[in-house]
Every structure is written in C-alpha cells, then in structure tokens.
Homo-oligomer: A and B are copies of this chain.
Amino acid sequence: MGVSPRRKAKSQRARGGRAAERARAATHAALRDSGRKLLAERGLHAVTSHAIASAAGVAAGTFYLHFRDKEALFRELVFEAVAVLEQRLETHVRPLRERPADAARVRAEVMLGFAEDHGELVALLFGRAAEAAGVAADALDRLAAHLEANLCAPDTAKSTLHPTVAAQAIVGMWTRVVTWWAESPGRAPRDAVLQTLVDLQLSGIRGGPK
C-alpha cells in the first residue's frame, strides 16, 4: 500500500515501467510459490536455490535479484505464515478474551482451519522444514507471546497454571498436533482433533484439579 518504490519507478518510465513492475512482481511471486512448496516439502538445507529458481521457471541468477539469499526467502515465507495465522487469531480470538472457554474453542478452530487452508505454511512453520534457520523458532516464540497475552483472562489467576509455561505448552501441543494432522488428515476425525485441543488447553483455565 501507499507510494511504493515500484510506483516511483513507474512515474519515471511511464508505461514501460509498469510492465517491468508487473514482470518483476510475477517473477517474485513465482519464486515465492516454488520456494514455499519446496521448502515445506524438504526443508531449508535440502533445497537448493537452483531448484527453487528452476521450479519457478527462471534462471539461477534471477533468484538473487529477488532475495538476498535462501534464508531471506525462508524468512519471508515464515513471516507470511505467521502473519496469516496471527491475523486470523486477531480477528476471531481477540474478541473473546473475556470468555476463556469460547476463546479456547475458537483458537483451536483457527489453528485447525489454518492447517487445512495452508498446509504448506504449516509445514514451513512447524514441520521438519523449520530447521536450522532459527527463523521459525523466533516465529514460534512470537506466537507463544501472543498466546500468553490472550490467556491472561481473569480465570487464569485462580488456576495453578504458569502463564508463560502454559503458553509454551499450548504452542507445542498445537504445532505438533496440527502438523501431524495436516500430514494425513485421515488419522483422526476433525472433530476429535478439535475437541482434544480444546479439552487439553481448558483444564487449567477452568481451574486445575485442586
């Protein structure tokens, strides 16, 4: 949005600039697409920049016109995934801060829906692709922080849950289950996955065992 550098280029070169701009964007998108696919499938270090470029239908060198290096693409993709997920959580879970039970259910619903809609992003964020770079680790920490903030409903106070630990636990629970389920959804009915996620995160919120 707003006046992008791209736009500025256009004003300098009139029509030709617009075409070039579109071409560049198309190439960028093609690289992102093939990168998302390949990186989700095989992981950062098992995929070469050549492979990504070639899957995108461009020459090897072109990759470096669009991304500083392989990790930069990975980073971009991971941030894309986080953004999509956080944006859904923001929209659907935030409003329910005062009703922990509903929030828990919707949160689980959002995670599952995300897995269904964006299998590649899930693999990228949580799967074995999320190695090495450290990028994914940052992303998950951010997710945990987000979660911790939203867990802090009044009810939590009564429970024996440690908010930070609980946030880590719930992130771990989610990521593992969602990744596992996205790999082959046939392993458990959607409802069961959903209900299990809700149940497990509710325990403490509902006021522990004591």
Measuring CB to CB, which residues of chain A are less than 8 angstroms from any residue of chain B? Answer: 4-6, 8-9, 23-24, 26-27, 30, 43, 45-46, 57-59, 101, 128, 131-132, 134, 137, 159-162, 164-166, 168-177, 180-181, 187-189, 192-193, 195-204, 206, 208-209
Docked pose: A18 CA to B45 CA in angstroms: 34
| A131 neighbours in B (Cβ, 8 Å) | 43, 45, 128, 131-132
| A162 neighbours in B (Cβ, 8 Å) | 188-189, 192-193, 195-196
| A27 neighbours in B (Cβ, 8 Å) | 5
The answer to whether A165 and B192 touch (CB under 8 A), given A6-B57, A199-B159, A200-B200, is: yes
* A contact face: mostly helix, strand, loop, or mixed: helix
A178 → chain B closest CB, angstroms:
9
